Chain A
Amino acid sequence: MTVATQAPERPAPVSDETGAGRRPRRDRAGTALGRLRPATAAGLGLVTLWLSLVVLIPLAAVVVTGAQGGWSAFVDAVTSPAALSALALSAGLSLAVALVNAVVGTTIAWVLVRDPFPGSRLLDHVIDVPFALPTIVTGVVMIALYGPASPVGVNLVGTRVGLLVALLFVTLPFTVRTVQPVLAALDRDAEQAAASLGASGATVFRRVVLPVIVPAIASGASLAFARALGEYGSLVLISSNIPKQTQVASALVYGKLEDATDPVTSTQQAASLAIVLLAVSVLVLVAVELLQRKGARRHG
């Protein structure tokens, strides 16, 4: 697995059941809270404090602030014409990107794992580029080629196509990196057995390989979806932020934050929108976690 991918490849942490007759795990720090070693307790305290200050409390503040005006204010903020079109645009683009990546990403992973050729390694590294680049840098890179001074005469500024291309760039690694390890770990014997039973290549793929990699594909697609939904930096230049046309959800939220007229309400509205985005983020996290576990169970 490579570089900066968040695509989770986590093994299960140590903390396993000790059933009668099963070989029990030996844990070193004491299972019951009461027998906590001082170092572990200190570590736990540190991590809890850090997480709270950096992540949990701030996110809680978003939820609280967004709900501050009551249910009707929340609904108004989230269903205003600008909000609806921004959310719909973001959702639509993200879905499209997730689906494209499900197919393309899997194909790329397949080529990388099953069909190594001279230059495969380079291809593998190039896949990491979108993940390593700062988002604004991606935005500028897009503009360099697809902007007003485009060397190929293609100007995508202010168009949805431009948004799509930028998002495809940004989400390229996600499915590739979730599917790659699963493909690499596949037991080829099953495929060869199917072939010997008369199955064509396509059938073998559909019936033997695909079922195993589907959780990984779904996992990568979900991550791509979540990333695309909240994406800002790579879109800000190429979108021109035209309301109802190319204004994505994150741009709308940012716009509200920068709105100097009635900052309190604007902030509240921004937070309300953020709640929607957050809810999707959490859902994706849960989905990915479940898919990971499913995938792990399949592997045994």
Chain B
Amino acid sequence: MAEAATSPAAPVGERRTGRHVVRTLVVAYVAVLVVLPVGVLVWRAFAPGLGAFVDAVTDPLSVHAFWVTAEVALISVALTTVFGTVAAFLIARSGLPGMRLLDALLGLPVSVSPIVVGLALILVYGSTGWFGGALESAGIQVIMSVPGMVLATMFVSMPLVTRAVVPVLVARGTDQEQAAESLGASAAVRFWRITLPGIRTALVTGVVLALARSIGEYGAVLVVSGNVQGQTETATLRVDTLYQTLLQPDAAYAVTFVLVAVAILTIVATSLLRRSQGGTR
């Protein structure tokens, strides 16, 4: 049992009260800051009635927004997984110079404003951008289209797979691969039968996180998509439209609820994954 640093002077009763006070304050803070607003949202999503909720969520434009989100998120996550896994191996195993820099660079998405991300992408891939012109004449539309949104979500979810996998690779070391090698396994066999199973849980965790991030991106996608209803509107953009443009707060709450549910599912999923990794290994 964790005990706060004990002092020989203060009697046990006082310490316990002190602890309880802090504990209560902390729970209160988190409850009021996080639980209360989310709770109110859930309530307001269903307050107009279940029928209204279902109508809002099954509105064709909303449904289309969900599809766009799914499409962008899946493509983005697939690519990020490939990149992320390769980067993880480079960082953890290659011993090349500059890997530390690469690892640090991966921290960028956390500190760069999503609006700046969007701006950066349209400056390069927009019709007047560095590459945009050439791409458009080749028939490839990046900005205001799915590819641009994929780029935006890849930028922001970039570190998630790598940062999940690297610690596991480093902790495992290469002993098992060497053992497999001494038993006659080729590089491919070693990778598929020994390395990959070893990082499986971490990889899945990273993918789940990247998926959640891609589904949830707003600012960067807002800038990059042009927000054309029925075309490049994602679920997050749809919420914005419903509230600000269409002035339908209840519908906005309903769609928001769906996104909240997805977020909570993510938390549950990663929690279960973490527990499975800790357990039977």
Asked if chains A and B are in direct contact (CB within 8 A), the reply is yes
Q: Is the CB of B41 within 8 A of A285?
A: no
Interface size on A (CB < 8 Å)? 119
A115 within 8 A of B: yes
Q: Which positions 245-281 of chain B face chain A at CB distance < 8 Å? A: 249, 252-253, 256, 259-260, 263-264, 266-267, 270-271, 274
A122 to chain B, nearest CB (A): 10
Number of interface residues of B (CB under 8 A): 112
- CB pair A144–B41 under 8 Å, yes or no, is yes
| B116-147 interface bits toward A, Cβ cutoff 8 Å, 1 = contact, 0 = none | 11111111110001100000000000000000
* Residues 1 to 58 of chain A near chain B (Cβ within 8 Å): 2-4, 6, 8-15, 25-31, 33, 39-40, 43-44, 46-47, 50-51, 53-55, 57-58
Chain B: interface secondary structure? helix
Indicate if the CB atoms of A10 and B166 lie closer than 8 Å.
Answer: yes
Q: Which residues of A contact B19 (CB under 8 A)?
A: 115
Report the minimum CB–CB distance from B110 to chain A (whole Å).
Answer: 4
A192: chain B residues at CB < 8 Å are 6
Asked if residues A46 and B124 are in contact (CB atoms below 8 Å), the reply is no
User: Min CB distance, A91 to chain B, in Å?
Assistant: 13
| A250 / chain B contacts, CB cutoff of 8 Å | 113-116, 219
* In contact, B216 and A54 (Cβ under 8 angstroms): no
> When each residue 130-142 of chain A gets 1 if its CB lies under 8 Å from chain B and 0 otherwise, what string results?
1011111100111
Contacts A10-B103, A129-B38, A274-B119; A55 near B266 (Cβ below 8 A): no
A281 with B120: CB separation less than 8 A: no
A57 and B103 contacting across the interface, CB-CB below 8 Å: no
Residue pair A134, B236 in contact (C-beta under 8 Å)? yes
| Contact between B218 and A43, CB atoms less than 8 A apart | no
**Please, how many angstroms separate the alpha-carbon atoms of A201 and B108 in the complex?**
39
Given A128-B267, A195-B6, A136 contacting B33 (CB threshold 8 A): no
Q: Which of B93-114 contact A (CB under 8 A)?
A: 93-97, 99-100, 102-105, 107-114
Check if A257 is an interface residue, CB within 8 A of chain B: yes
Residues of B within 8 A of A141 (CB): 37-38, 40-41, 256, 260
Q: How far is the CA of A266 from the CA of B6 in the complex (A)?
A: 60
- Asked if B244 lies at the interface with its beta carbon under 8 angstroms from chain A, I say yes
Tell me which of B23-31, B50-58, B60-68 binds A.
Answer: B23-31
A153 interfacial contact with B, CB 8 Å: no
For residue B114, give the distance in angstroms from its CB to the closest CB of chain A.
6
Please measure, in the bound complex, the distance between the C-alpha atom of A114 and the C-alpha atom of B27, giving whole angstroms.
15
List residues of chain A with CB within 8 A of the CB of B151.
53-54
Chain A proximity mask over B178-217: 1 for CB below 8 Å, otherwise 0: 0000000001000000000000000000000100110111
Query: Which chain A residues lie closer than 8 Å to B29 at the CB level?
Result: 104, 108
CA distance A143 to B99 in the complex (A): 43
Interface residues of A in 85-120 (CB under 8 A from B): 104, 107-108, 110-111, 113-117, 119
**A137–B239 touching, CB < 8 Å:** yes
Q: Are B124 and A55 in contact (CB under 8 A)?
A: no
Instruction: Report the nearest A residue to B181, measured CB to CB.
Output: A28
Kindly state the separation between the CA atoms of A9 and B202 in the bound complex, as whole angstroms: 14
A205 and B5 form a contact (CB under 8 A): yes
Q: Are B215's CB and A232's CB within 8 A?
A: no
A289 CB, nearest partner CB in chain B, Å: 5
CB distance from A258 to the nearest CB of B (A): 9
Q: Bound state CA distance, A214 and B240, in angstroms? A: 39
Complex CA gap A65/B34 in Å reads 39
Chain A 190-207 interface residues, beta-carbon cutoff 8 Å to B: 191-192, 194-196, 198-205
Cβ of B174 within 8 Å of any chain A Cβ, yes or no, is: yes
Closest to B91 in A: A13
Complex: A147 Cα to B40 Cα, angstroms = 11
State whether the Cβ of A83 lies closer than 8 Å to any Cβ in chain B: no
Interchain CB contact under 8 A, B114 and A232 = yes
In the complex the two chains form, what is the Cα distance from A246 to B169 in whole Å? 46
* Cβ–Cβ < 8 Å partners of A47 in chain B: 83, 86-87, 90, 102
Q: Closest residue of chain B to A232, judged by CB? A: B219
CA distance A290 to B126 in the complex (A): 36
Give the complex CA separation of A143 and B248 in angstroms. 13
**Contacting A57 at CB < 8 Å: which of B93, B116, B130?**
B130
- A8 to B107, Cβ gap below 8 A? yes
Partner of B216, one of A117, A134, A194: A134
Nearest Cβ distance between residue B188 and chain A, in whole angstroms?
10
* A143 to B110 Cα, complex, angstroms: 25
Measured CB to CB, the closest approach of chain B to A20, in angstroms, equals 19
Residues in B with CB closer than 8 Å to A114 are 2-4
CA A4 to CA B170, docked complex, whole Å = 20
User: Closest residue of chain A to B113, judged by CB?
Assistant: A230
A218 at the interface (CB under 8 A from B): no
| Interface pairs A-B: 7 shortest CB-CB | A230-B113, A134-B216, A27-B95, A58-B120, A226-B111, A61-B123, A132-B263
Give me 23 A-to-B residue pairs in the complex whose CB atoms sit less than 8 angstroms apart, sorted by A's number.
Answer: A4-B160, A4-B213, A10-B167, A13-B103, A13-B170, A28-B174, A43-B90, A44-B90, A58-B120, A58-B155, A61-B124, A108-B26, A108-B30, A132-B264, A134-B236, A145-B36, A146-B37, A201-B15, A205-B5, A227-B111, A230-B115, A233-B222, A278-B112
Seed contacts A26-B174, A136-B239, A285-B107; 9 additional CB < 8 Å A-B pairs:
A10-B103, A15-B95, A33-B96, A44-B94, A108-B30, A134-B217, A223-B111, A257-B118, A285-B111
